[in-house]
Structure 1
Amino acid sequence: MVIDYKKIDLFGKSFIQKVVVKPPFEFAFPVAQQACLLYVLKGEAQYEAENQIDVPTNYSLLLNCINPGKQLHESNANSGSEIVIVTFHPDILKKVYERELPLIFHPSNKVTNQSVGKINNDFLIQKYIEGLLFYFENPSLANDEILILKLKEIVLLLSQTRDAATIQVILSQLFSPTIYTFKQIIEASLFLQIGVEELAQKVNLSVSSFKREFRKLYNDTPANYIKTKRLEKAAELLSISNARVTDIAFDCGFNDPANFTKSFHDKYGATPTNYRIKLKK
């Protein structure tokens, strides 16, 4: 149930919104070419599409609002929530940044379809949101010049957070939407030091759905298939290069040299060093 709702427009479109709700509530996202930053000022909320993300107080969620069926609802049936929403419209961004869009809106070099990311508690973003509350109480002071500055401020802050790489992936889709196939994402990620959960995020699936889709396409588990491909790549590099074994391990996606050595021995019957020596005899 919505207890209070306020919004401030920029150039005729919603820029910032403040929603106070109490259980039960659901906030459905519109089907529109835009992105949203949702900041939980009080209480807790839960974002649910294919997978589920809990958003506690002072955390935020960045997502593109292109696909239907995405909802935000309460994660605690006994408490209300207060949510501030900052919306990014491509046409307004182009108008504000007449000469060139900031780098965070440029396509990233990551092969991923990730459309939502949880932003860790960031002190500067927290203070930014607190600053917006003044304009909800004094809407007459929120003129276009001030709002343009606030838009540029949040873009700058997002580009400087520890989650900037994920943020770029999501925001760049506003201007360069690229949809990769499941296999394209898997093949591009084989030798990155990431786990199954991060791979699932890249294809916008829950871990369980990701595993089902993976087995359907590869007739194997993600862990076993990826490990096999990494070991095959390592064996190839050992045969054609003089790079250190530890460097090869990291380049092939192993973050633990000892685990790499054991896995390699299990598959090839020799340590990486001995494998290389045998090839050169």
Structure 2
Amino acid sequence: MGLFAPLFLLFNHTNKLLMIIDYKRIDLFGKMLFERAVIKPPIKRPNPMNNEACFLHIRQGKYNSISEDEFLSAIKRQSVLMKCGNFLGQILPDKQTGLYEAVAVHFHPDVLRKIYMNNLPKFLTKPKKNPIATNMVLMEASIPVDKYVEDVLFYFENPHLVNEEILILKTKEIILLLMQTQNAPNVLQILENLFEERTVDFKTTIESHLFSDITLIELAQLTNRSLSSFKRKFKATYHSPPLQYIHSRRLQKSKELLAISEQSIGDIAFDCGFKTINHFSKKFKESFGVSPSLYRKTLSGK
């Protein structure tokens, strides 16, 4: 599918602002292998990977990767390895340039089998002992990965030098580099389960993102449901409509934090999933009859 290609197609065929400043891809055996994009964020979009995995290296800006029950942030020179699963991707700008730049390497099972032929690496053949506990892993900045990405960028700028043999070698090289990173044990666990589906139950996904800035449509995507199906499942599980339940939980948490925390009201509002202080204050007063500041002041007086 690609991390950026759908955005490029969408904004290239509408009258909307073209957020993709530069986009290139290189394919191997008919499937996307390398992808490079320079984007003017912010952008937040679904990123389902049903039968592929991806290595994403950040060159400018910040990338928030959100899975069924996890949240991971990567900044400049850091990388994320994501196995197959449901994800949301949030792209944020570099504070100085206002841009986001990243290079992605995509892994497809049929492409890897063709690359390795009868000499498959252990991570593709090793029996799975325990179910994997995560869908993604963060890799810290490293000079070898930086050098590798520079090589890939060279081929983007010189496509006449690209051939099948080089692409096969570069695919094998990134896998070897991943297995030698500082986070090698966790990376290896991801590699060993690269195309294995990981089941996360409905309630775990909901509880993991109750206080995140995620819409109902995005929650539905993470649970692999349509919005209408998600709402039905939610009401059957929690005996309450989604928005009503989520707002109630967020307000209750904010009330507790106001009582025990020294955080500012603004920080509490954002930590509990409210986008603005005004919206938080309005909902708080509707539910508890007083503003957050007056509620805190009343408690401090006691």
What interval of TM-score do these two structures reach, taking the shorter chain for normalisation?
Answer: 0.5 to 0.7
Contact 2:58 2:76 survives alignment (8 Å) = yes
2-side partners of 1:72 and 1:124: how far apart?
A: 26
Change (3 A) 1:205 1:142: farther
Change (3 A) 1:111 1:65: closer
Shift >6 Å, 4+ stretches: 206-209
Change (3 A) 1:180 1:73: closer
1:140 aligns with 2:140: no
Name which one, 1 or 2, has greater alpha-carbon Rg.
1
Matched residue, 1:36: 54
1-side partners of 2:46 and 2:159: how far apart?
A: 25
1:151 aligns with 2:171: yes
1:5 to 14, 20, 23: 23
Aligned-pair CA distance for 1:66: 2.8
CA RMSD for the aligned pairs? 3.0
1:112 to 119, 132, 150: 132
Q: SS state of the match for residue 50, structure 2?
A: coil
Change (3 A) 1:28 1:143: farther
- In the alignment, residue 142 of structure 2 is paired with which amino acid? D
Contact 1:90 1:175 survives alignment (8 Å) = yes
TM-score, length basis structure 2: 0.55
| Structure 2 alignment gaps of length 5 or more | 1-18, 213-302
1:76-103: CA deviations, max 9, x gaps? Answer: 6772110000000000001111123212
Q: SS state of the match for residue 46, structure 1?
A: strand
Change (3 A) 1:27 1:126: farther
| Structure 1 alignment gaps of length 5 or more | 183-199, 210-281
Contact 1:108 1:168 survives alignment (8 Å) = no
1:53 to 57, 72, 86: 72
1-side partners of 2:42 and 2:181: how far apart?
A: 33
Tell me which moved more, 162-171 or 115-124.
162-171
Aligned-pair CA distance for 1:56: 0.9
1:44-87: CA deviations, max 9, x gaps? Answer: 222233433221100000002432x5223216677211000000
2-side partners of 1:65 and 1:98: how far apart?
A: 22
Contact 1:21 1:81 survives alignment (8 Å) = yes
Matched residue, 1:165: 185
Matched residue, 1:24: 42
1-side partners of 2:95 and 2:158: how far apart?
A: 32
Change (3 A) 1:27 1:84: farther
Q: SS state of the match for residue 170, structure 2?
A: helix
TM-score, length basis structure 1: 0.59
Matched pairs, number: 190
Q: SS state of the match for residue 155, structure 1?
A: helix
Taking every aligned residue pair, what percent have the same amino acid on both sides? 38
